[in-house]
Chains A and B, each alone.
Chain A
Amino acid sequence: MELKKEQLINLYTLMVRTRKLDELTIKGLQEGKVLAFYHSGQGSEALAVGAIAFLRPDDYAWGHHRGHGIGYLLAKGADGKEFLAEHYGKATGSCLGVSGFHYADPELGVLGAAGTIGSVFPISLGWGLAAKKNKRQQVMVSVFGDGGSNRGTLHEAFNLSSVWKLPIVWICDNNGMAQFMPIKDAYAREDIADLAAGYDMPGVVVDGMDVLAVQEAVQAAVARARAGDGPSLVEAKTIRYRSHSEGSPDVVHNQPRSEEKIEAWKKRDPIESFKAKLLEQGMLTEADVDKINQEADAEMAEIEKFCTDSPPPDVSVLEKLLYAE
């Protein structure tokens, strides 16, 4: 679909906010305010934003653990305050300070986040099944990493989603690394999208550094899902700028990752390259860019203050949360 100017600017703004919230989360961790851990998503902002920004409010979405879903969540309309407050362990966090780093907002179609890699597949199958049963042309967009693609759960869920023609868009964020394990030693082929053929669904590879390429491929898959034609697989080639988790060594097996290769990818940074394109096309001016950055900085300052000022949870919440009424 041909995007309008404000849609293009929205994509750019979402990516800027995603990057800044990622940086703020790292800062919080370094200052000891973020209590658990953090898996930075820097480098995959175009995928997160491009995949989610054009969904309907009642569509379901699952962003994976990289960036703890920041880009996917912001693009779905989530509140950055609740995201970071959860990481701060505060009562105002998305999950009342109980999860530490997960986000849930059923109103936005974000029904949860997981700590076990590959568990995205069976649960997404259920959300996709619910979407089909609801008969409202909802879709389920389910994002996993190349590491998750090695789980056997993928097979069961891909297979059934196709047999049942569920409205699911499976998206693989292939950044080539599963913690310290390179995909070349974990998967025999080059493209994970090749798996799609075995399940009789379309499989495409896109440049995950190009937000427009991502949104185009995902929107085609979304259209197919809404039409009742079943699932698709979109694989985006991305890069992980930082180590697996903040503070962990940045290695391939046990050897340092090539900085040269990372720097080469950074030359195609999704935010910078999209900005350059929009400036060149006259969609953005330098003044617009400054304004977007300033507003995002102000938002981050507000988020940080909110998190700092928020109270810790009351311990009485724990027993109450075990069962639903």
Chain B
Amino acid sequence: MKQTIYLMAIREALDEEMERDEKVFIIGENVQQGTFGTTSTLVQKFGPERVMDTPLAETAVAGAAVGAAMAGFRPVADMMFADFMYIAGDEIMIKAAKWHFLHGGKVSVPLVLMAAMGGGMKIGAEHSMCPESIIMHTAGLKLAIPSTPYDAKGLLKTAIRDNNPVVFFYHKGLLGVPGEIPEEEYLVPFGQADVKREGSDVTVVATSRMVHLSLAVAEELKDKVSVEVIDPRTLEPLDIDTIIASVKKTGRVVVADEDNRRCGVTSEIGMQIMEKGFDYLDAPVQRVAAADLPIASGFMEEHILPQPKDIVAAIEAVAT
């Protein structure tokens, strides 16, 4: 194992997959420099034809990636901020998502759309969203949201090799998070949740940055309540079986995610727990999510985004 950080793990995944398969290329706004460092330095190794800087034109970036994918390439389109993916809604949610199905399976779209999501930087409503629910809602798109360097590298490599469109949301609040990854090559399969901490009293299903907040809260509460923290790692496919197995053990569950509360990821996971694990529940499912407001900027941000105290309150609500 070796020590690295989240953004370097992402870059390593790109580097290794570009090395392995010449059909893989990166396309996006200023990817040669790399806004978040995830694609930086790759142009020195692979050249500008495989690390393609584009003008500020999101429909062109996503559309070019979708078209090239259909024609046999494996593009990784870096949409920079996840918020910007809305601009290319047709290309992402209609073309990439539906064209394999719509055309009777005759064409495939092996594409990765990656983008930085999430708050914590106080940069407001158009640079802080976690549009997971809209992607999870769209039939035909897979969705990976890693919380650790290990998961980030392994999931991204799997995403690039998948023959379907995969949205890969990395959290910009986790870019510097350290962690260990193997020296040798590895992949993290889709649809396998990871138990980040074992516990027996309460299950917290947490995604992305919420995993770290939940682990901190679990540690803080360890003398009072034994918290199990489960990270689904991919939301589509979703490993509901691992979640239900944990709920069967604890009987109590909190779902924590940074997307908005209404029709958000927590709604979906909470409802699936109701459908598949109602008999194991000793308390109503609690959820922790962003308020149903745009993500405010500056000092106001923390009043919108889910905070550790909200996770504590939710755990206490189900545990008592």
Query: Residues of A with Cβ closer than 8 Å to B?
Result: 60, 93-99, 102, 104-106, 111-112, 114-116, 119, 121-131, 133-134, 152-153, 156-157, 159-160, 163, 320-325
| Shortest Cβ distance from residue B72 to the other chain A in the assembled complex, whole angstroms | 7
Beyond the given A93-B104, A99-B103, A111-B70, please list 6 additional residue pairs across the A-B interface where CB-CB is below 8 A: A96-B104, A129-B68, A131-B71, A134-B72, A153-B63, A325-B163
A98 to B107, CA, bound (A): 13
A99 to B99, CA, bound (A): 10
Query: Residues of B with Cβ closer than 8 Å to A?
Result: 25, 49, 54-55, 57, 59-60, 62-73, 88, 90-91, 94-95, 99-108, 110, 139-140, 142, 163-164
A324 to B98, CA, bound (A): 11
Contact B64 A126 (CB under 8 A): yes
Contacts of A105 in B (CB 8 A): 106
Contact B91 A122 (CB under 8 A): yes
- Top 4 nearest A-B pairs (CB, nearest first) are A126-B67, A122-B63, A130-B71, A96-B104
Contacts of A95 in B (CB 8 A): 102-104, 106
Closest residue to A104 on the B side, CB-wise? B103
Contact of A156 among B59, B71, B108 (CB under 8 A): B59
Among A93, A111, A122, A152, find the residue whose CB has the most chain B CB atoms closer than 10 A.
A122
| Shortest Cβ distance from residue A203 to the other chain B in the assembled complex, whole angstroms | 20
Contact B65 A126 (CB under 8 A): yes
- Can you report 11 residue pairs joining A to B where beta carbons are below 8 Å apart? A104-B107, A116-B90, A119-B94, A121-B63, A122-B63, A127-B67, A130-B67, A152-B59, A156-B55, A157-B63, A324-B108
| Shortest Cβ distance from residue B220 to the other chain A in the assembled complex, whole angstroms | 41
Count of CB-CB pairs between chains A and B under 8 Å: 142
Contacts of B108 in A (CB 8 A): 324
Contact A94 B104 (CB under 8 A): yes
Contacts of A60 in B (CB 8 A): 71
Among A116, A134, A163, A322, find the residue whose CB has the most chain B CB atoms closer than 10 A.
A322
Contacts of A153 in B (CB 8 A): 59-60, 63, 90
Contact A133 B73 (CB under 8 A): yes
Contacts of A321 in B (CB 8 A): 100-101, 104-105
Contact A119 B105 (CB under 8 A): no
Known: A98-B101, A104-B103, A323-B164. A126 touches B110 (CB 8 A): no
Contact A324 B94 (CB under 8 A): no
Contacts of A152 in B (CB 8 A): 59
Contact A324 B106 (CB under 8 A): no
Contact A122 B67 (CB under 8 A): yes
| Shortest Cβ distance from residue A157 to the other chain B in the assembled complex, whole angstroms | 6
A163 to B102, CA, bound (A): 32
Contact B102 A98 (CB under 8 A): yes
A124 to B107, CA, bound (A): 15
Contacts of B73 in A (CB 8 A): 130, 133
| Shortest Cβ distance from residue B65 to the other chain A in the assembled complex, whole angstroms | 6
Contact A125 B63 (CB under 8 A): yes
| Shortest Cβ distance from residue A237 to the other chain B in the assembled complex, whole angstroms | 28
Contact B70 A127 (CB under 8 A): yes
Known: A105-B106, A322-B101. A112 touches B70 (CB 8 A): yes
Contacts of B95 in A (CB 8 A): 114, 119, 123
Closest residue to A321 on the B side, CB-wise? B101
Contacts of A325 in B (CB 8 A): 163
| Shortest Cβ distance from residue A190 to the other chain B in the assembled complex, whole angstroms | 27
Known: A112-B99, A160-B57. A126 touches B107 (CB 8 A): no
Contact of A160 among B55, B72, B106 (CB under 8 A): B55
Contacts of B94 in A (CB 8 A): 115-116, 119
A153 to B25, CA, bound (A): 22
| Shortest Cβ distance from residue B294 to the other chain A in the assembled complex, whole angstroms | 24
| Shortest Cβ distance from residue B241 to the other chain A in the assembled complex, whole angstroms | 19
| Shortest Cβ distance from residue A36 to the other chain B in the assembled complex, whole angstroms | 13
Closest residue to B101 on the A side, CB-wise? A321
A106 to B105, CA, bound (A): 11
Contact B91 A111 (CB under 8 A): no
Contact A127 B68 (CB under 8 A): yes
Contact A96 B105 (CB under 8 A): yes
Closest residue to B27 on the A side, CB-wise? A129
Contacts of A133 in B (CB 8 A): 25, 49, 68, 73
| Shortest Cβ distance from residue A118 to the other chain B in the assembled complex, whole angstroms | 8
Contacts of B55 in A (CB 8 A): 156, 159-160, 163
Contacts of A324 in B (CB 8 A): 100, 105, 108, 110, 163-164
Contact A126 B101 (CB under 8 A): no
A123 to B96, CA, bound (A): 10
Contacts of B49 in A (CB 8 A): 133
